[in-house]
Amino acid sequence: MTAVKMGSSIRPCLLLLALVVLVHGAARSRAANNRFPDDFLFGAATAAYQVEGGWNEDGKGENIWDHMLHEHPDYSKDHQNGDVADDSYHRYKEDVRILKEMGMNHYRFSISWARIMPTGEANNINQAGIDYYNNLINELLDNGILPVVTMYHWDLPQWLQDLGGWTNPIMADYFEDYARVLYENFGDRVKWWITFNEPLSFVSGYAHAGPFTQAPAISKPGVGDYLATHHLLIAHARAYHLYDEQYRTKQQGKVTITLNTDWHEPLTNSTEDIAAADRARQFSFGMFAHPIFSTEGDYPAIVRELVDKKSKAEGRTRSRLPVFSKEMVEYIRGTYDYFGLNYYSSKLVTSGVTGENPSRERDAEVVISIDPSWPSSPVTSWLQVVPWGFRKLITWVHENYNAPAILITENGYSDDGSLEDTDRINYFKSHFTELLKAVYEDGANVIGHTAWSVIDNMEWTSGYTEKFGVYYVNFTDPARPRIPKASSQFLKEIIQTREIPQD
Ligand code: NOJ
């Protein structure tokens, strides 16, 4: 009787205790999912042509963006160019000051090849350019900020373009020479290297010409862009092996490439759309990622198959997509120490025929669309806000490329420059949330996030019409003051608390 009694009073107690433990546990795991890992890196990014200005100062050579926008001012929406931009060439200390103000762990910037090697050749070094980057790197380190350095953010010296640019296989030699100059001059202090930024974007400069196209604006779709792809992959591997063989032991840094893509979601869950979405991923991302990050190396099989088949049907003697020798497949495979990943938006995919004949779009046999219910940037047509696509892309990279350490090297939102940039805050908040789901729920190894961008800047062929900065810059003011937007305060708080605020 007593036992029964005791039992019946203990049972509710135990139940209550279990409930308390459960609720507490759930709250704790919510908190954990909301909290960044202790060693997570927060940073922000820019690129040389977009911020530096000083386009012909102190011996800098002309690059393909200087050239294209001087020759064709109408190729950018507002007919502007990067001649002055944010004037970071003179105001880099301001950039470092605001990075420090936000508490950033790293700054991703790029080196202008033509600033330190005016023609792109290693026998012609411009000391003033070397000095500029030494000053920037030292200023960052003095302020406790890690430099993450992109070697090539789209601004090829024009002299090399006149030799054919990335369509010429000799570019791998020139790029290796350039990388050597960088390791020699900066490798004692720079430990995070990125060879190329977004090859998918810049090889399109060999596919399309005319207003709003990438430099060098050459119209050879399905041929020029594939040649450029092939040669930059070799150039990347050359820079990686050079580091491995001659600098790694002494300098102890890391080298990779930064790749980008929209997340490609099947339009429906039909087998056909699922296969189409995979083709879209392989033609936009796998084409660069597979040779470097996969276990097998080389181009993805579906890319090889479709381009070869079409090239043959077109009566060509060889595939429009060049072939790597077995040795070259091995040489390129595994040339990474981490994965640089840029994400902004997502697209829907179904099967079909689009694009010029020939072209990458047509080769991929996909039709791309968006869901009209997705919120969109008010100024950038391609930027729909799809945070779940961020998680899917991270997890897809994690699962398809051997669980690499992933540094998000760009992620951000554009508007017209308002200081109360609530939509940008919401963008970052929702994307941080999805990033942490990829980490805690999918097991991805994301080591850091880099916001694009520190300051409003020259958005390529959109000129100054699309503002991505967390600091506002008035481009009619010669002093180019950097003015904080609300989003810079938001990032600062996240970095301080290392948590995503829940309210
Ligand atoms: C990617 C590019 O790397 C960067 O230069 C550009 O400004 C942003 N996307 C926004 O379009």
Helix (H, G, I), strand (E, B) or coil at 118: coil
| 452 in contact with ligand 1, CB cutoff 6 A | yes
Is 399 a known active-site residue?
A: no
Q: Which residues of 229-263 are buried (b: 16+ CB within 10 A; e: fewer)?
A: bbbbbbbbbbbbbbbeeebbeebebbbbbbbbbbb
Pairing of strands 41-45, 406-410: unpaired
Cα 332 from Cα 334, distance rounded (Å) = 6
Catalytic residue, from 52, 62, 176, 198: name it.
198
Is 410 a known active-site residue?
A: yes
Instruction: Give the confidence band of 293 by pLDDT, cuts at 50, 70, 90.
Output: very high
CA–centroid distance, residue 377 to ligand 1 (Å): 14
pLDDT digits (tens, 9 = 90+) for 48-96: 999 999 999 999 999 999 999 999 999 999 999 999 999 999 999 999 9
Q: What was the pLDDT predicted at 8?
A: 41
- Cβ atoms of 149 and 160 within 8 Å: the answer is no
Residue 6 burial class via C-beta count within 10 angstroms: exposed 0-12, middle 13-18, buried 19 and up:
exposed
What is the atom index within ligand 1 of the atom nearest the CA of 412? 10
| 306 in contact with ligand 1, CB cutoff 6 A | no
Please tell me the residue having the least CA distance from ligand 1 atom 7.
Answer: 459
Cα 134 from Cα 128, distance rounded (Å) = 10
Structure tokens at 212: 């709003």
Structure tokens at 125: 């070094």
Max Cα separation, the chain?
A: 98
pLDDT digits (tens, 9 = 90+) for 107-130: 999 999 999 999 999 999 999 999
Domains and CATH numbers, the chain: 39-497 (3.20.20.80)
Instruction: Give the confidence band of 32 by pLDDT, cuts at 50, 70, 90.
Output: low
More confident residue, 20 or 206: 206
| 262 in contact with ligand 1, CB cutoff 6 A | no
| 62 in contact with ligand 1, CB cutoff 6 A | no
CA–centroid distance, residue 259 to ligand 1 (Å): 12
| 112 in contact with ligand 1, CB cutoff 6 A | no
CA–centroid distance, residue 204 to ligand 1 (Å): 14
DSSP 471-484: EEE-TTSTT--EEE
| 415 in contact with ligand 1, CB cutoff 6 A | no
CA–centroid distance, residue 338 to ligand 1 (Å): 20
Least Cα distance to 64 among 174, 195, 158, 167 occurs for 158
* Residue length of the chain: 503
